[in-house]
Structure 1
């Protein structure tokens, strides 16, 4: 029985060795997805504050369209993605699937044993009204 247990343990260890290692939990990127205030233009009104936006982030290796991982930020806009060291592009999209709000891709560099912090700004498309001529 001991020999059978030893053989099973060796087989399980060998099978486990064939798996790809998981991304280290202490390397990656974290941050927040935000959308500009999007208030309708009003003369002499203070700007509306940015607010968190739940969004989808597709992560690709820099210079590639191959997806490494896709995550959704929370309702508070926060996200954390464990990644191996290297260069990546975050490709943000709003969860509504509408043209607005929109965000541009962001290139990030992940260093071993560090977390790169980013803010992903979304544009609501609302613009300030031009000031009337004097």
Structure 2
């Protein structure tokens, strides 16, 4: 059975004004890099139009690095542990910089 990382990528806020009952985020297409314990990039994937992605990986601990061409939007790296035979879920939140 395969293992790896599966997740969602969102961008927030998408408006400087919060409206009760409405979401201030949206799915986001981004390039996501995966780095092993030695610091080598071992995989890259782009999230789809719905912000979803999955990467098949061997069990182990990895750093997921969301990429960005500028200061904003920006998302923090996350350490993820992949267990044998399952996909570990992650949510990557890009800060749009809108205030």
TM-score (norm 2): 0.88
Residue 48 of structure 1: CA displacement? Answer: 4.3
User: In 1, distance between residues paired with 2:17 and 2:26?
Assistant: 17
**Unmatched segments (≥5 aa) in structure 1:** 1-24, 128-134
**Unmatched segments (≥5 aa) in structure 2:** none
1:30 matches 2:2: no
In structure 1, the residue matched to 2:86 is: 114
Alignment of 1:68-79 (within 5 A): 68-79=42-53
Structure in which a larger fraction of residues adopt helix: 1
Residue 81 of structure 1: CA displacement? Answer: 0.3
Q: Larger relative contact order (C-alpha < 8 A, sep ≥ 6)? A: 2
Residue 114 of structure 1: CA displacement? Answer: 0.9
1:87 matches 2:58: no
In structure 1, the residue matched to 2:31 is: 56
Please identify runs of 4+ aligned residues in structure 1 that moved more than 3 A: 45-48
The structure that has the greater radius of gyration is 1
Structure in which a larger fraction of residues adopt strand: 2
Residue 37 of structure 1: CA displacement? Answer: 2.7
Q: Give the total of aligned pairs.
A: 98
Q: Secondary structure at the match of 2:75?
A: coil
Cα RMSD, aligned residues only: 1.7
TM-score (norm 1): 0.67
